[in-house]
Structures are given as structure tokens and as C-alpha cells.
Homo-oligomer: A and B are copies of this chain.
Amino acid sequence: MSALVTYRFPKGADPQKLGNKLAVGQTAGSWSERWEHRTSSFQAHLAEVVSTATSADGHPTATVSFPTADLEGDLGSLLTLIFGKFSMAGPIKVLRIELPEEFGRKPKFGMNGLRQQLGVPDRPLLMAIFKPALGLSAQEHGEILTEVGLAGIDLVKDDEIMADLASAPTRDRLAAGLRALDTIEAKTGKRPLYAVNCTGGGGAVVDRARALQDAGANALLLNGLTYGWHTVEQVCDAVEIPVLLHPALAGALCGAPDHGFSYATLLGTLAAHSGVDAVLYPAHYGSMPFDPAQEAAIRDALRARGVAPVPSAGIHPGVVPRALADYGTQVVLNAGTGIMDHPSGPAAGVRAFYEALDVHARGEAFDPAQLPEGPLKRALALWGSP
């Protein structure tokens, strides 16, 4: 049993040689005759190159196997081991990580758990983001939540940059949100999930996660990459409500061609072993430059452990046919402006999405000329259908 890591090296490099250097340097390190009597102990810790290949873009790669004897079972120690010092050794990128099934954490809810919480057995789940991001009061957040909730939204999340700010403290946002959820539930029978952004320094994130749950929060949003994987593990261990991972900062770790991680490794594999229930990431439909192959690999890595994929950015009602082709129904579609900036308001944005799902289910074309007057037609007039 071991962790398999595939590294991409510069063109012209000898992958066997570099892989060996990395395998030794990241485990036993420098040997000397003095420790010859410990050879068998070193061997048990030594990583080794199990294969070399060429990447799709023509770079040499090596897959290195790290013994589980070197691993402590958490993401922090894993990253130190596989890409600590060597991340600084030049243009080396981690393309892929394969972890043992039992490594790390699994989601407590995941895609199926979210469906159960919401009582939505089959169609894609729909999530909205509060916009504008900063500047609204807690009460205004509650008003927006009521509006999209009465229109049938499944999940609403804070914007990720909304911290515990004086203009809309987290506790106040939750209180206003809970009042909104009560109203929605009383009128529709369904209680959406409101993912409160869980923030704070020096341990406060974890304490706040518990406090928010105790105060009635039914989901949390977590900027796991800016706080760190260890905090993600802590928060997931601390609460029994769904935790949604936001990808803020992922570009600093994955955006470069020759450094860091592939997006699929970070937001797919590592996230899937962190304990979170859903992972947001840029869809390739929007303005963010994102590789469809990486998006698909994220989706598959998350699904392999039951975690809900949440393609985000550039999601609006017109995207529904493409998103269903790419994802099927086992997905959370997450829209910010694609709901909030609907010309008839956020509730119409939600209705436009459900209308889009219906139209698509009936196999009809997304042609504004053929659609009846209503939210979808107005959405398509504004945003089109890619």
C-alpha cells in the first residue's frame, strides 16, 4: 500500500534520474556509511520510481511510490512528504496523486446526503450566491435568501470574501438567514441549505464552525485553501452539517503550467480525501480560463468518493443543456450573477433555471424564438446559451 504521485518535469529532463533524486531526497535523504547497519530501516521508508512516461503536452513524467510507512494519514504530512522541499527545486508539477482508499477522510453527506437533506432525489441541485459580495446588511442577506428560497432554490451560500465584518457580522447573517429559512419552510415545506461562510484566525474557524452549527446553521462554506488542509480536516471533524469547499487561492497553487499541482489533483483528489461534502471550482463555461479536461478530472475524482461537484462561475440558465451533457444530474449548479442579475430579479433567476431544466427534459430547443414569455426567455436574451 502506498501513495502514487506523478510528477511532470521540464522537457529534455531524464525522468528516471530526477524521479530517483526526488524519491530519495524526499524520504531517507542523505545516507552515509555510518548508518549502514540501518539499511533495512531506510529501505522501508524509501520511495521509488515505478514508471516513467511522457505527458500529453510532451513533458517527461515519473510516477513515484511513497510507502505508507512515511505517511501519517492526513493531507498536511502527505504534502510535506511528496512536494515539500522539491516544490522549490525547479519547474516540477504534480500531475496526479493516487491515494489508498482508506487514506484521509470521506464526506459525511456528499452528493447523496445533500439530496436527502433537501428531499430532492434526482434533478441537479441549484445553488445561489449572495451578490453584491460586500456592502449589504445581514437583514438584506435575509431578504435575498427569502426571495430565492420562495422561488425554490436548494442551496444559498455567502460570497467567499464575506468574513465576519462589522457591516454584516456572521452571527447576524446567520440569524437573518434562519428567519428566512423558517419563512421559506413555512410557505413551501422545504428548507434550503444556507452555507454560512465560516472564517476567523488562530483557531476561530473551528470554534466558529461548532458555534454556527449550535446556533442552527445547516451548512458551512469554507475557504479551505487559504486556511489550509489541516483546518479543513478540523472543521469536517467538528461538525455534523455539510461543508462546502471554496477554491479561493487555487490558482496560486495550480494556475502555472510548470509548477504546483494540476487543478484535478488539488480540487479533485486532495479535496475528496479532506472530508468536505461538496467542492466548488471554475466551470469552463465562464470567463475564467479553465481546461475542460481538468474540470472533468475534478468531477470524476470527487464522485469517486461521493463528494458533490459544484461547477461555478459562468453558470446561468442558458448553460443548463451543456452542463447536463457534461455532468448529468449528479451535480450542484452554482450561480451568482446568473441568478442575482436576472433582469426580473433573483426569484426570476431561480425560476429560469427550473424552466431550463424542464425545457431540456422535454428535449426542446433553447431557442428564444420558440420559448414562451417568461424567466428563461429573458435570461437567454441577456446571457445566451453557449
Asked if A362 is an interface residue, CB under 8 A from chain B, the answer is: no
Which residues from chain B contact A277 at a C-beta distance below 8 Å?
A: none
Please indicate the chain B residues that have their CB under 8 angstroms from the CB of A290 in the complex. Answer: 88
In contact, B251 and A44 (Cβ under 8 angstroms): no
Instruction: Tell me, rounded to whole Å, the shortest Cβ–Cβ distance linking A185 to chain B.
Output: 25
- For the complex, give the distance between the alpha carbons of A138 and B236 in Å: 33
- Say if the beta carbon of A336 comes within 8 Å of chain B: yes
- A340 to B30, Cβ gap below 8 A? yes
B258 touches A203 (CB 8 A): no
In the bound complex, what is the Cα–Cα distance between A354 and B107 (angstroms)? Answer: 54
Segment among A226-234, A296-304, A365-373 that sits at the interface with chain B: A226-234
| Shortest Cβ distance from residue A103 to the other chain B in the assembled complex, whole angstroms | 10
Tally chain A residues at the interface, Cβ within 8 Å.
Answer: 104
Taken together, the copies of this chain in the complex come to 2
- A77 with B226, Cβ < 8 A, contacts A167-B69, A259-B252 known: yes
Instruction: Kindly report which residue of chain B lies nearest to residue A91, judged by CB atoms.
Output: B255
With A84-B226, A85-B248, A255-B260 known, 13 other A-B pairs at CB within 8 A are: A26-B161, A29-B132, A35-B132, A41-B135, A77-B226, A78-B226, A79-B249, A80-B161, A87-B248, A88-B247, A203-B234, A252-B253, A256-B260
Chain A: residues with CB nearer than 8 A to chain B? Answer: 26-32, 34-35, 38, 41-42, 44-45, 69-81, 83-92, 94, 104-105, 131-137, 140, 159-161, 163-167, 199-206, 223, 225-231, 233-234, 236-238, 246-261, 275, 282, 288-290, 313, 336-337, 340-341, 345
